[in-house]
Amino acid sequence: MLGLLWAMGMASAPSHASVIQSLTIEEIGVASGGLGTSANFALGGEFNWVGTSLGPFGFVSAGSTDGKLLMGRRQGPGAFTPGIGVFDDPTPVLFPNTLDYAPTGWVFEGGPPLMVLQLRGLGIVFLGTNYPMPEWAIFAPLLQIDETHYYYSVDWTHTPAEWSPVDGGQLLTSWHLEGIATIPEPGTIWLVGGTLLGLLGTRYRNHNTRG
């Protein structure tokens, strides 16, 4: 019964948050009126070893198998970006992935739109070893394009878990991502909530009939 009441509340209570379905990685500074902050024009993603001369190295989602970073799903090397080349060499040697943990994200629309990402598990395969980032909540401003799409731009710095190829785990890495975030069409969450409510209601009635 408590589960049924919880489902009723989820299906009927107003909400200003929408789950993010996917993120493209692409330069959007011009189209978004300056929201993008990429130092490399036409490259929506950057990876940099902080405090060294190594980077920034750019990457995009174009040319990858999925073409975007998918929320709630683990993706391997090449799925949301072909990879990162270094030292002006286009051949990828660093391969971003989410093999360790599926990312999640929400868009909050109660005021100026804000994106909250949990990118725990985002990592880089380097010389055959995957180096994921620790649990990390990231907040990013948004500019709305239409009902289901937003421009986003986000930057953060962290030390990857088990990172030690250069300096025994002390080397910070910085990331930059920008592109377009996609959320479900309006009303989808109500459809899902209503379906869940119907299934739970049927189960509750069947349980009472057997009793």
Q: Take residue 89 and report the two structure tokens written for it.
A: 């060499």
Read off the pLDDT of residues 159-200 as tens digits, 9 standing for 90 and up: 766 655 555 445 678 889 999 999 998 765 544 444 444 444
Q: Return the pLDDT at 104.
A: 94
Angle between helices 188-210 and 2-12 (to 10 degrees): 160
CA-to-CA separations, 127 to 47, 94, 95, 157, 183, in angstroms, rounded: 16, 8, 10, 22, 35
Q: Take residue 68 and report the two structure tokens written for it.
A: 């975007």
CA-to-CA separations, 196 to 106, 120, 139, in angstroms, rounded: 21, 28, 30
Q: Give the mean model confidence (pLDDT) for residues 100-112.
A: 90
Using CA atoms, how far apart are residues 156 and 113, in angstroms rounded to an integer?
19
Using CA atoms, how far apart are residues 63 and 65, in angstroms rounded to an integer?
7
Q: Return the pLDDT at 109.
A: 82
Using CA atoms, how far apart are residues 160 and 101, in angstroms rounded to an integer?
14
Q: Return the pLDDT at 135.
A: 73
Better-scored residue on pLDDT, 4 or 198: 198
Q: Return the bridge partners of 132, or none.
A: 123
Using CA atoms, how far apart are residues 134 and 121, in angstroms rounded to an integer?
7
Using CA atoms, how far apart are residues 119 and 103, in angstroms rounded to an integer?
5
Q: Return the pLDDT at 10.
A: 39
Q: Return the pLDDT at 121.
A: 82
Percent of residues, the chain, with pLDDT higher than 90:
38
> Which H helix or E strand runs over 188?
helix 188-210
CA-to-CA separations, 124 to 7, 8, 72, 197, in angstroms, rounded: 39, 42, 18, 41
Read off the pLDDT of residues 16-57 as tens digits, 9 standing for 90 and up: 789 999 999 999 988 888 888 777 767 899 988 877 777 788
Q: Take residue 144 and report the two structure tokens written for it.
A: 């709305």
What's this model's pTM, rounded to 2 decimal places?
0.77
